[in-house]
Amino acid sequence: MVPQVRPRDLEAWLAARSERGPLLLDVREPWELKLAHVAPRGLECISIPMATLPARLEELDKTRPLACLCHLGGRSMQVALYLQQQGFEDVANVAGGIHAWSLELDPDIPCY
């Protein structure tokens, strides 16, 4: 089962994993990144669109905690489940995606 972490709770989730260098994995398409993106301080972010993930899986460390992000949380949940099936040890889904991030944390991020 993949943990669901609301954007407002993500900082605590990340802090509990800080010694292992958590990563925010944005699985949205490039055109979506142009509309809205996040850059949380102190957190490494990487963008790998969902459709390209299987071909780029070797870019990710299976022992590193990953929080997956998309627009509303559906695609990132699918990716998180896929990553667990591939042997990733600590994966969470950002529930509500970047839309919830905008509503809960940063209203300057546009909703689309």
- Catalytically active residues are 70
Strand (E) or helix (H) holding 13 = helix 7-15
**CA 82 remoteness from chain centre:** 13
**Rounded (10°) CA dihedral 25, 29, 35, 40:** 10
Residue type, 47: S
* Cα 50 from Cα 111, distance rounded (Å): 20
